Chain A
Amino acid sequence: MPGPFEYFIWLSCTFLEIAVVVCALKKGTIRKYFLLNLYMATSVIVTAARFRVLTSHGFTSSEYIYLYYYSDALLTIFLYLALSSLYTHVFSELKAERYVRFGTLLLLAGTALFSYGVVHESTTKLISRFVVELSQNLYFVGLVLTYVLWAAILKLRETRTQLIQIVLSLGVYFSLFAADYALRNLYPSVSSLFISLLQVFGCFLPLAWAYTFWRIPEDARIVPSRLAVVPR
C-alpha cells in the first residue's frame, strides 16, 4: 500500500499535469499542441479513476491492477500519438504530414503485431499480457523515435524554442525510465530505491511541459549556434 510520500508525489504529478493544460490554454497554444494536451488531460482523468479504485478496492486488488495496466497502455498510445504530432511540427515545412501519419499508423500496427507475436503462445491472460507487452514495446519505440526526432531537429536546424524544449524533455523523460529500469535489474539489492524514484521521474514531463508553455513564448527562437552543429 502506498504511503504518504507516494501519495504526495502522485498528487504533485497530477497538479503538474493540470498545470500543463491550464498553461497551454492561457497562452493559446492548446490547439497547436492539441495531442500533447490531450495526453495530459487523459492522464488526469486516468489518475482520478485510479485513485478512486485504489481507495475503494486496495493496492493489490485485481480491479486496481487491471485498471492500472490497461489505462497505462491507453496513455502510452496517446503519448505515442503526441510524439507523432511533434514530427508533424518539425517536418511541416517539408509538407510531409501525410507520410508522418502513414508512418505513425504503420509503426503502431507493426508494434502491435510484434507484441502479439511475443505473447500469442501464452495460455492464460492473453489479452492482459498483450496489453502490457504493447505498452512496453510502444514505450521503447517512443524512446527511439524521440532520439530520431532530435537528430532531425539538429539536421534541419530547427529554431523554435518551445518545440525544441518539448522534444528534449520527452527524450530526457524516456531515458530516465529506461536508465532506472536497467539499473534496477543490474543492482537488484537496491531495486526498491529505483522503484521509488519512478514516481518522482513521472513528474518530470508535466513539469517541463508546464514550464515550456508558461515561460517560453510561442514565437521564441533559439540561436542555432547554441545547438550542436550538424553539416547539412
Chain B
Amino acid sequence: MSRKLTVVLLAMLVLIGAMSLKTVVVAHSDGSVIMANGGAPAPPTPWKNGGAPAPPTPWKNGGAPAPPTPWK
C-alpha cells in the first residue's frame, strides 16, 4: 500500500513539475504551441481559422482609457 502511495505522490510531483516548467517556458508565448513529432510542417492551430484580425475582448467596450483598479 505504501508503495502505491509513493507512486501516487511521485506522479503528482512530476505533474506539478511539468506544469511549472510549462508555465516558465510559455510565459512570453504568442499563443503558438510546441509540436514535437516527426518532420511535418506545422500548420496554424485549429482555432485560428482564416487571417481575420482578432477582435477586442468583450469587456473592452469602447475606446476609453482603462481606469486604475478600484483598490488602488
Chain A positions within 8 Å of B, measured between CB atoms, are 2, 6, 9-10, 12-14, 17, 43, 46-47, 50-51, 54, 59-60, 62, 64-66, 68-69, 71-72, 75-76, 79, 99, 102-103, 106-107, 110-111, 114, 124-125, 128-129, 132, 135-137, 139-141, 143-145, 148, 173-174, 177-178, 181-182, 184-186, 188, 191, 195, 198-199, 201-203
Contacts and interface: CB of A to CB of B under 8 A. Distances in A.
29 contacts: A9-B39, A46-B38, A50-B40, A59-B41, A60-B43, A60-B44, A62-B46, A65-B46, A68-B40, A68-B43, A72-B37, A75-B37, A102-B4, A103-B11, A107-B11, A111-B15, A125-B47, A136-B33, A140-B21, A141-B15, A144-B14, A144-B21, A145-B18, A173-B36, A181-B25, A181-B34, A185-B25, A185-B26, A185-B28
B29 interface: yes
Interface of B: 3-4, 7-8, 10-12, 14-15, 17-19, 21-22, 25-30, 32-47, 49
Contacts of B40: 10, 47, 50-51, 54, 68, 199, 202
B43 A65 contact: yes
Contacts of B42: 68, 195, 198
Contacts of B4: 99, 102
B44 A107 contact: no
B32 to A, nearest CB: 7
A72 B18 CA distance: 19
The secondary structure that dominates the B interface is loop
A76 B37 contact: yes
B49 A76 contact: no
Given A6-B41, A125-B47, A129-B47, A141 B18 contact: yes
